[in-house]
Amino acid sequence: MSRSPGAGRFAPSPSADLHIGNLRTAILAWLFARTTGRRFLMRVEDLDDRTFPEVAARQLDDLAALGLDWDGPTEYQTAHGHRYDAAIAELSGRGLTFECYCSRKDILSAPRAPHAPEGAYPGTCRDLTDAQREQRRTTGRPPALRLRSDVTEYTVSDVLHGDYTGVVDDLVLRRGDGVPAYNLAVVVDDAATGIDQVVRGDDLLSSSPRQAYLAALLGHSAPVYAHVPLVLNAEGKRLAKRDGAVTLAEIGVAAALRQIADSLGYRSATVGGMLDEFDPARLPREPWIYRPA
């Protein structure tokens, strides 16, 4: 097999231990990368102040215990602030950013264009005059920095979903507390590390048009996307601690691998065996309803 110059990745946020759904997605990301000759990279998304180094260490230990390996050292977003600053400086230098003083409540309560999804930025601060901007600064609320988008939607291609067109608004690049926003950080990090394949839960499919558009503005190609079905509880909701045994420490390595393999229709309960059986065309398209044994 010829080796792709690119890479796939898994990028957990260390706010809580990985649950069976996260572990399943990690295995799928590894399978996609390894079967396409790509490197597989690990990135800890630890910019948020609700993340913890000890949780990151447990997450990495759990992934290794499943049999996953990755190429090169694990990256931590907190070590790469210069990347995000440089991208923001470039966009600002091109007149593609503006300060936003809106709270979440302001955004949700503001009038918006017909058919615009709830939560989409309504453009409140986009065209403030200098006087209006100065008046808002006197309130003491530190502004977020937003992208001045010139499109309202963008289309990406997904291995499992085909072409997907989603909303693009004036997304946040840097939060009011100075922390780089998720959509900026993932785009910049993927480009900096040669990631050209993104496999993740399909709850993030709607984020892909924003990220692909931002990547294009920064001169990067969009990655190959594969948004895989989530794992839900018996009530059809996202897994949570109240659902019982959902972490690797609670389930055990052998049982977790067997459950994940069964959910994917694989005979083998090792990641090496799953690699031999892997075929993206045969992946389930519906969520896996998880019921703890």
Question: Is 213 labeled as ligand-binding?
Answer: no
Q: 15 by DSSP, 3-state: which?
A: coil
Question: Is 200 labeled as ligand-binding?
Answer: yes
Q: How far, in Å, CA of 145 to CA of 139, rounded?
A: 16
Listed residue (189, 198, 195) closest to 160, CA to CA = 198
256: tokens are 């977790």
Contact criterion met (CB below 8 Å) for 39 and 71: yes
Question: Is 76 labeled as ligand-binding?
Answer: no
123: left (phi over 0), alpha (psi -120 to 50) or beta: left
Question: Is 102 labeled as ligand-binding?
Answer: yes
Q: How far, in Å, CA of 258 to CA of 168, rounded?
A: 40
What is the DSSP annotation of 152-177?
A: SEEEEEETTTEEEEEE----EEE-TT
Question: Is 11 labeled as ligand-binding?
Answer: yes
Residues constituting the chain? 293
Q: How far, in Å, CA of 236 to CA of 245, rounded?
A: 17
The CA distances from residue 252 to 34, 45, 54, 68, in Å, are 25, 25, 20, 16
Residue 12, φ and ψ in degrees, nearest 5: -75, 150
Q: How far, in Å, CA of 58 to CA of 250, rounded?
A: 13
**Which residues, 6 or more positions from 200, have their beta carbon under 8 angstroms from its beta carbon?**
11, 25, 29, 227, 228
Question: Is 209 labeled as ligand-binding?
Answer: no
Q: Which residues are annotated as a binding site for ATP?
A: 241
Q: Which residues are annotated as a binding site for Zn(2+)?
A: 100, 102, 121, 125
Q: Which residues are annotated as a binding site?
A: 9-13, 45, 100, 102, 121, 125, 182, 200, 241
Q: Which residues are annotated as a binding site for L-glutamate?
A: 9-13, 45, 182, 200
